[in-house]
Structure 1
Amino acid sequence: MTSTRENQHPLISIIIPTLNEAGSITQTLDALAKISEPVEVIVVDGGSNDDTVQIVRQRKVKLIAAERGRGAQMDAGARGAQGEVLWFLHADSVPPGEAPQRIIESLRDARVVGGHFDVHFVGHSFSARFLCWFYRQLRRTGVCYGDSAIFVRREAYNQVGGFKPFPIFEDLDLVRRLRRRGRVARVSAAVKTSSRRFEGRSFFLTFARWNFLQVLYWLGIHPRTLGGLYAPIRNAGVCEAEPLRIEKQSG
């Protein structure tokens, strides 16, 4: 992997979008503080009205305010980052301690433009156990979402145009464009994350609707349209759905 600092690890910028994440951001930042490799932590807030911003300001991390929406927030973080590698992490996710080293190892292959981790949903509930199984099956098909802690070379990110300000599936959209530039690696180590968006309501109904939206996405329905359909089933997230408009994807 190309680095401007010979014999040193490249700087990894860890970008975390937040919106009312006071209940989870502390655990994530605590985990990142234990990383020994050179990293830059950037929290991009979309207008939290809880204690998220106050918690972040107590840490030695960079805080950016941005337009609400996960895609827009992560792109703002990327534009404000200094690292040669951009690593996008959800606020309710905790990466394995060896994650930076695994990223560096993956990117030593010049053909690799980026990658993602496995995901472990925390808890003993049926939904958490089922989602762990389901995500393992998805990984075998090459599908990955933002909660799998996507990382990418800065150069490749800029070349494909970065995250788009979509209310949903901004992660699938980015990875699809990255695959046109090179290989997207799968790191076998797992990020621990929450299954909260599936909790507190009928799991099977939520899961079925979520998968239905994915089918519509792969059929070409634009993420802005799907965001309006997703809003009723998303009980915790950083994106705000736009009015329902049927719009086909381009490209």
Structure 2
Amino acid sequence: MISVIIPAHNEAANLANLLPHIKGLKQYESTEIIVVLSKDTQDKSIQVCSRYGVHWYQSSVTGRAAQLNLGALHAKGKYLAFLHADVWPPSSFFTDIKETLEGTSEAGFFSYQFNKNSFLLNINSKFTKKDGIFTGGGDQCLFIRASVFKKLHGFDENQVIMEDFEFFRRMKQQKIRYTIIPNNLMVSARKYETNSYLKVNLSNLLLVVLFKIGYPAVKLKRLHSKLISTPYAARK
């Protein structure tokens, strides 16, 4: 079984579109969906989860790392896939995961494209097909053998931002074999619609560089809040 774990904060609208989409994918019958709501979720996400008959939990701790770990704790699957609520998987999503993890790879990611046709965003997308400075970001949907995730002790809940990059760093330190699947997820461009392309990319670069040199997570989150405007239902 593949367990799809979706952290969400006030994402009822996106979940209402994503959940039936996942259920319509090939090989869905051998999977489970677990939605983990943030501590402060106040919209109709619970009703949406109930409508589509998926497992849901609400975290008692603030932070996406805690949500991801809670989902993994309840997961029954041999394989785990961590998917953001505003990211749509391709039609062969489950097949790709199964074939990759039943091979020599212990983990993997997907390349992605944005849901807005833009020359500049298309350039960004091309970089997700290969290893690079931004590899391991949450939009690429980490999938991993549950036994390996447990061996790595899950996400660091003290990492209040960029928990995905911190986990990927430990993966590389432990020489976990991974593959990047060149089969695009569809990622929301809403951050770029609220902020300029240049502002988002410079902010991302700054945060990654500061993270890599050991800048404290709490200060990184504070800096991110100052640099990037997120009037939509920001995920936690």
TM-score normalised according to structure 2 size: 0.89
Deviation string 1:15-39 (CA, Å, 9 cap, x unpaired) is: 0000011221122111111134200
**30, 36, 42: which one pairs with 1:44?**
36
Q: Give the CA deviation at 1:225.
A: 2.2
**61, 69, 74: which one pairs with 1:80?**
74
Q: Tell me, in whole angstroms, the C-alpha distance in 2 between the residues paired with 1:184 and 1:234.
A: 33
Q: Tell me, in whole angstroms, the C-alpha distance in 1 between the residues paired with 2:176 and 2:194.
A: 40
- Does the aligned pair in 2 maintain the 1:127–1:198 contact within 8 Å? no
What SS does the aligned partner of 2:131 have?
helix
Q: Give the CA deviation at 1:197.
A: 1.9
Correspondence 1:113 to 2:113: no
Q: Alignment length, in residue pairs?
A: 226
What SS does the aligned partner of 1:187 have?
strand
Amino acid at match of 1:135: T
The match for 2:235 is 238
TM-score normalised according to structure 1 size: 0.84
Structure 2 spans left out of the alignment, 5+ residues: none
- Does the aligned pair in 2 maintain the 1:113–1:178 contact within 8 Å? no
* Matching of residues 200-211 of structure 1 within 5 Å: 200-211=194-205
Structure 1 spans left out of the alignment, 5+ residues: 1-10, 240-251
Q: Give the CA deviation at 1:185.
A: 1.1
Correspondence 1:154 to 2:146: yes
The match for 2:213 is 219
Correspondence 1:21 to 2:11: yes
* Matching of residues 176-187 of structure 1 within 5 Å: 176-179=169-172, 180-187=174-181
Q: Which has the higher helix share?
A: 2
Return the structure number with greater relative CO, CA threshold 8 A, min gap 6.
Answer: 2
What SS does the aligned partner of 2:214 have?
coil
Q: Which runs of 4+ in 1 moved over 4 A?
A: none
Counterparts in 2 of 1:105 and 1:134: CA distance versus 1, 3 Å: closer
Identity of aligned residues (%): 28
CA RMSD of aligned residues (A): 1.8
- Does the aligned pair in 2 maintain the 1:115–1:187 contact within 8 Å? yes
